């Protein structure tokens, strides 16, 4: 049994230092570490609701009812900011709200008016935030000068603290003001974030820098940190990630949505001009998930092997790269894996089942069997042939499952519920059950017997590519998780880590995750950049070339093999490397096209993320399952009949560089899709490491399948869930971007851009290079690829 505190991820006690693994006995967890987040509370400012009510008169919308709704949606605080003219929040509102608020109650305002001080002392909220705004200000526009006003602030803060009210001072991110604020006796500071919000889209690293410095000073001085003003769903995630000791954020305007049309929403209210105003539950939940530990994970760089609680082997990545093929595993390491997983049974021998089993066997696992339905064995179906032709033991459920230590369910998603209901009664007490995708647990709500340990080991690619990467001496990034409701013997992580090593995942990187995080990020990646956009791009690029007079057989080959060649460059060097393969004028053109595509497609990406987070996507897909996959089969048949799919490719060899020179539009599509998928996932609360694997790193693994047999092969080897999402995205995306692509100059696809003319404006090129290199997906990618020392090029 591995020790309870295994060296995994970037743990708070320094067990793993970049590419080197060390082992120590557990130490007490410190109260704060840069790698340990506290979960900020979300307080919703309801001033905007009051503005709408006052504009129309009467009590519509009902401010008190909306406040109750917001709390029921999961907000952890209500914020109001009454002003002397009562243009939105009235002083009586502050009093009426007090008995209804079951979370934290925060009143903001300028304490230089006696009326405000008396109100706060009478209501006694959880917190008072002191804001130095002038009476005529529409909104807050600056923080306190705590040096100039220090004596006054000391006096008023003492009054509020004597009444048992927590105090916070509204500040600009200025270290001098933070230092002076600590001398006032305040409990917290609230960082005024307008400048961060304004600078976020231009250069987020530059925009966040003064806030990080101010927050670090505040922490050192014993001040807790709040933040507010112009924070939104687009910029809050990065802010919270950079300031892990953030206590609270206040968001108001960005959570109030104007929607003109139907839809059933909780908290629906009517505006002064008949607008439909909504505090949308999905969006509120989504914002909360930015801080939800269920969506936060640790990176695993390698694996430690233990026996009887003592380390018997250590993978030093600086010396050997990732734990590699069987010939690189010591006998002790092989024995350690086998000791954890002694008798393994796989259910399902399709792409994932067969190829995972082959990798495991090559890693030293001997006792691997496939349990198949009796009819599959009797009729010698494909699953039976796959297993027997590769010399695996095959038997039916009743024979194999009762003796298995670990049962791995690798059947199609739509079969999971029936399969689990069949195998669970046969599993011995204390056995473990594994998934490679958490859909059945998260979206279908499957409940597993309490004595069974439930884990997930999810390689981020189709099964065929899992095997190919392993054979090249590398591996595939893998997410692992343990179901929090099913780890009775606390051995779940032991199983998951041993399993991930056996399939070769640790050579590329293993991410400690959760069932929820894996499902939501996996669905988003495969629907958008990984499958959906590649399908849309294939059809539109081919059609455009043919329309522009390019020979169809050449166009088909450029697309079919072009994705593989182009995306292989991002696997090794990110978007930067891919863009550097273009001529300078082509790079600028691809950059401009990608920025336009991102602007056009962003609402669609957001919709897919929201539908995934809310469960609407899964609900729609499962309805199609019940209807015998009518939509899925219809879309599959339509794809097979596209001109691209039916056109035979030319025998003419296309040199590698020509795929870049003649594929500027394809490069732009990849850049736009990778960056937009990454940004959307991170904004939804998925950590950057996971978003990188689901957006950038997996793209070439999917592109490889298109290179074999076009879109048919891609859709054949991905999961049924991925295929459904792919078609859903493709049917919305094609009409969305078709006109834009059709109107692009013909030289962006199928021809050499500008006939080799390399003249550019140097300043423009420098600016474009800077933007490309500083995108967050490039920063986290550089970090993760630095540990992927065994990565191989496709031959």
For the four alpha carbons of 242, 243, 245 and 250, in that order, the dihedral sign comes to negative
Q: How far is CA 737 from CA 605, 729, 755, in A?
A: 13, 12, 26
Query: How many Å apart are CA 339 and CA 310, to the nearest integer?
Result: 14
Tell me what percent of the residues of the chain surpass a pLDDT of 90. 43
pLDDT higher than 50, residue 306:
no
Query: Six-digit token pair at 300?
Result: 């695993």
Q: Per-residue pLDDT tens for 571-588?
A: 889 999 999 999 999 999
Q: Per-residue pLDDT tens for 674-703?
A: 999 999 988 887 888 888 988 998 899 899
- Average pLDDT on 434-444 reads 91
Strands 478-482 and 453-459: antiparallel
Q: Per-residue pLDDT tens for 203-226?
A: 888 899 999 999 989 998 999 999
Model confidence band, residue 337 (pLDDT cutoffs 50, 70, 90) = very low
Model confidence band, residue 790 (pLDDT cutoffs 50, 70, 90) = low
Q: Which of 181-190, 228-237, 600-609, 739-748 has the lowest mean pLDDT?
A: 228-237
Catalytic residue among 416, 437, 608, 775: 437
190 annotated ligand binder: no
Q: Answer yes or no: 81 catalytic.
A: no
**All domains in the chain, ordered by first residue:** 41-284 (3.20.20.70), 331-513 (3.40.50.720), 524-787 (1.10.1040.10)
- Position 777 scores a pLDDT of 94
More confident residue, 499 or 663: 663
Q: Per-residue pLDDT tens for 628-650?
A: 888 888 988 899 999 999 999 99
- Position 308 scores a pLDDT of 36
698 annotated ligand binder: yes
pLDDT higher than 90, residue 115:
yes
506 annotated ligand binder: no
Q: What is the pTM of this model?
A: 0.60
pLDDT higher than 50, residue 73:
yes
| Residues in CB range of 117: below 8 A, 6 or more apart | 111, 156, 159
Which 3 state secondary structure label does DSSP give 178?
helix
12 annotated ligand binder: no
- Position 256 scores a pLDDT of 53
Which 3 state secondary structure label does DSSP give 354?
helix
526 annotated ligand binder: yes
Query: How many Å apart are CA 224 and CA 509, to the nearest integer?
Result: 35
583 annotated ligand binder: yes
| Residues in CB range of 752: below 8 A, 6 or more apart | 661, 662
For the ranges 23-32, 505-514, 528-537, the one whose mean pLDDT is highest: 528-537
Q: Per-residue pLDDT tens for 240-260?
A: 878 888 999 988 766 654 322
Contact 277, 256 (CB under 8 A): yes
For the four alpha carbons of 560, 565, 568 and 569, in that order, the dihedral sign comes to negative
More confident residue, 345 or 724: 724
Model confidence band, residue 288 (pLDDT cutoffs 50, 70, 90) = very low
Paired residues of 458 in beta bridges: 479
Model confidence band, residue 301 (pLDDT cutoffs 50, 70, 90) = very low
């Amino acid at each position: 049994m591995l020790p309870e505190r295994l060296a995994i991820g970037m743990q708070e006690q320094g067990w793993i230092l970049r590419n080197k693994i060390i082992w120590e006995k557990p130490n007490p967890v410190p109260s704060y570490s840069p790698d340990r987040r506290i979960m900020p509370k979300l307080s919703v400012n309801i001033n905007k609701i009051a503005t709408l009510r006052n504009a129309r008169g009467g009590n519509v919308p009902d401010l008190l009812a909306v406040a109750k709704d917001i709390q029921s949606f999961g907000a952890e605080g209500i914020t109001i900011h009454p002003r002397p003219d009562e243009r939105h929040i009235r002083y009586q509102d502050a009093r009426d709200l007090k008995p209804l608020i079951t979370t934290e109650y925060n009143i903001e305002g300028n304490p230089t008016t006696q009326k405000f001080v008396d109100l706060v002392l009478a209501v006694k909220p959880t917190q008072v935030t002191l804001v130095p705004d002038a009476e005529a200000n529409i909104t807050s526009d600056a923080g306190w000068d705590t040096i100039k006003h220090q004596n006054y602030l000391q006096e008023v803060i003492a009054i509020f603290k004597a009444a048992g009210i927590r105090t916070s001072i509204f500040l600009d991110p200025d270290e001098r003001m933070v230092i002076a604020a600590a001398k006032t006796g305040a409990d917290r500071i609230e960082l005024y974030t307008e400048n961060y919000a304004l600078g976020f889209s231009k250069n987020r690293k530059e925009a966040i820098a003064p806030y990080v410095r101010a927050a670090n000073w505040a922490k050192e001085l014993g001040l807790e940190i709040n933040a507010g003003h112009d924070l939104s769903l687009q910029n809050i995630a990065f802010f919270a990630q950079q300031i892990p000791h953030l206590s609270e954020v206040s968001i108001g305007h960005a959570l109030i949505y104007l929607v003109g049309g139907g839809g059933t929403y909780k908290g629906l209210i009517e505006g002064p001009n008949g607008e439909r105003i909504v505090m949308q539950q999905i969006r509120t939940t989504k914002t909360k998930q930015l801080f939800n530990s269920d969506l936060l994970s640790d990176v695993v760089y390698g694996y430690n092997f233990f026996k009887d609680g003592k380390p018997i082997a250590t993978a030093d990545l600086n010396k050997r790269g990732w734990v590699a093929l069987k010939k690189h595993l010591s006998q002790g390491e092989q024995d350690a894996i086998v000791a954890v997983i002694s008798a393994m049974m796989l259910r399902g021998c399709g792409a994932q089942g067969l190829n995972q089993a082959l990798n495991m066997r090559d890693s030293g696992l001997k006792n691997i069997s496939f349990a198949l339905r009796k009819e599959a064995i009797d009729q010698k179906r494909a699953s039976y042939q796959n297993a027997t032709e590769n010399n695996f033991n095959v038997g039916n459920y009743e024979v194999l499952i009762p003796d298995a230590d670990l049962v791995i369910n690798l059947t199609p998603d739509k079969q999971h519920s029936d399969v689990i209901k069949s195998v669970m009664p046969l599993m011995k007490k204390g056995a473990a059950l594994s998934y490679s995708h958490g859909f059945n647990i998260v979206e279908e709500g499957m409940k597993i017997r309490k004595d069974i340990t439930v884990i997930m080991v999810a390689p981020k690619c189709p099964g065929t590519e899992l095997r190919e990467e392993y054979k090249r001496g590398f591996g595939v990034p893998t997410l692992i998780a343990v179901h929090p409701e099913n780890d009775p013997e606390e051995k779940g992580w032991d199983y998951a880590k041993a399993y991930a090593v056996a399939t070769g995942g640790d050579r590329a990187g293993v991410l400690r995750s959760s069932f929820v995080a894996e499902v939501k990020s996996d669905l988003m990646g495969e629907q958008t950049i990984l499958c959906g956009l590649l399908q849309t791009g294939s059809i539109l690029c081919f059609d455009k070339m043919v329309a522009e007079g390019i020979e169809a057989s050449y166009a088909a080959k450029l697309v079919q093999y072009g994705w593989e060649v182009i995306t292989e460059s991002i696997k090794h060097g990110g978007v930067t490397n891919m863009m550097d393969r273009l001529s300078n004028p082509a790079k600028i053109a691809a950059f401009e096209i990608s920025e336009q595509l991102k602007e056009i497609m962003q609402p669609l990406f957001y919709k897919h993320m929201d539908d995934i987070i809310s469960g609407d996507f899964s609900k729609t897909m499962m309805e199609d399952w019940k209807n015998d996959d009518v939509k899925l089969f219809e879309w599959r048949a339509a794809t097979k009949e596209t001109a691209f799919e039916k056109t035979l490719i030319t025998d003419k060899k296309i040199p590698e560089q020509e795929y870049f020179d003649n594929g500027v539009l394809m490069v732009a599509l990849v850049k736009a899709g990778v960056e937009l998928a990454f940004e959307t996932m991170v904004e939804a609360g998925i950590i950057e490491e996971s978003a990188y694997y689901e957006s950038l790193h997996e793209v070439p693994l999917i592109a490889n399948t298109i290179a074999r047999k076009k879109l048919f092969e891609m859709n054949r080897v991905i999961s049924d869930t991925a295929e459904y999402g792919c078609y859903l995205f493709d049917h919305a995306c094609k009409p969305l971007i078709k006109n834009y692509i059709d109107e692009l100059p013909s030289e962006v696809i199928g021809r050499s851009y500008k006939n080799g003319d390399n003249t550019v404006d140097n300043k423009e090129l420098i600016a474009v290079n800077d933007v490309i290199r500083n995108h967050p997906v490039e920063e986290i990618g550089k970090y993760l690829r630095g540990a992927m020392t065994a990565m191989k090029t496709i031959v």
